């Protein structure tokens, strides 16, 4: 079936370090891919997305490229800040019968950035 | 803007008790969703609704009920709480199906429920 696998956390980095959070997926067809972020005490919010192969989503210095050949959508940021500390969720869109789409989420990866 | 508001934020229930998790959105979204997140797992869809008066089951609907009498509200009902329902519950809404075009799902802060 369709699924998303993320690297386990927590990921602990110093400020200005390079970040990679791995995400791979299993899906039929051509799903859309998403990264959602949950800051402490808040709900999930969309960080970036890519809707077709080789698309690059970007926002707030974060990037992820939709790689069909490796079924991956890894999240990267060149220089993290303390304010990036949050839980990051990789997700894919799963179209199913009736046209009502739903999101399939990974387990989430907690990122902690220290000064 | 309030966005998606869930209440309560935390709750402890005894086995067999019932409760309703409230969810309301002020964005006039047609689509609303309830997810649960178990430790170390991704969010799983419990129920969803595509508009007032219309609801349907997601992946893990057993033990839950929903209603959608208005566009704004989408309460989730637990009738006989069980320890297996200990989880964090997220309500979400979107203007159209998630993943379609530029559609984005907006989430509430979550409700942490413990059944003892």
At A95 the pLDDT is 62
Distance between B38 CA and the closest CA of chain A, angstroms: 9
Would the pLDDT of B103 be above 80?
Answer: no
At B98 the pLDDT is 64
Would the pLDDT of A14 be above 70?
Answer: yes
At A100 the pLDDT is 54
At A7 the pLDDT is 87
Nearest Cα neighbor of B43 from A84, A3, A1 is A3
Tell me what percent of the residues of chain A surpass a pLDDT of 90.
Answer: 69
Phi and psi torsions of A83, nearest 5°: -70, -10
Q: Could you read off the pLDDT of B36-72 as tens digits, one per residue? A: 998 878 889 899 998 999 999 988 999 999 999 999 9
**Hey, which residues 39-78 in chain B have their CB within 8 Å of chain A?**
40-45, 48, 50, 56, 58
Would the pLDDT of B17 be above 70?
Answer: yes
Report yes or no: A88 and A13 within 8 Å, Cβ to Cβ: no
The CA–CA distances, whole Å, from B54 to B31, B49, B70, B95, B104 equal 10, 6, 10, 15, 21
Residues B57, B49: Cα–Cα separation, whole Å: 9
């Amino acid at each position: 079936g369709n699924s998303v696998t993320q690297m386990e956390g927590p990921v602990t980095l110093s400020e200005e370090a390079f970040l990679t959070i791995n995400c791979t997926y299993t899906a039929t067809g051509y799903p859309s891919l998403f990264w959602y972020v949950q800051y402490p005490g808040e709900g999930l919010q969309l960080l970036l997305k890519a809707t077709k192969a080789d698309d690059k989503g970007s926002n707030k210095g974060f990037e992820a490229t939709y790689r069909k050949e490796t079924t991956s959508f890894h999240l990267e940021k060149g220089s993290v800040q303390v304010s990036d500390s949050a839980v990051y969720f990789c997700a894919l869109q799963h179209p199913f019968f009736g046209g009502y789409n739903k999101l399939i989420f990974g387990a989430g990866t907690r990122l902690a950035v220290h000064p | 803007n309030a966005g998606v508001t869930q209440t309560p934020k935390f709750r402890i229930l005894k086995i067999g008790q019932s409760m309703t998790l409230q969810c309301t959105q002020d964005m006039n979204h047609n689509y609303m969703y309830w997810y649960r997140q178990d430790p170390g797992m991704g969010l799983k869809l419990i129920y969803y609704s595509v508009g007032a008066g219309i609801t349907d089951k997601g992946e893990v609907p057993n033990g839950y009920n929903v209603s959608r009498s208005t566009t704004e509200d989408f309460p989730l009902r637990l009738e006989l709480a069980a320890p297996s329902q200990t989880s964090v519950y997220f309500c979400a809404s979107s203007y159209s199906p998630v993943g379609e075009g530029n559609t984005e799902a907006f989430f509430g802060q979550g409700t942490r429920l413990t059944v003892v």
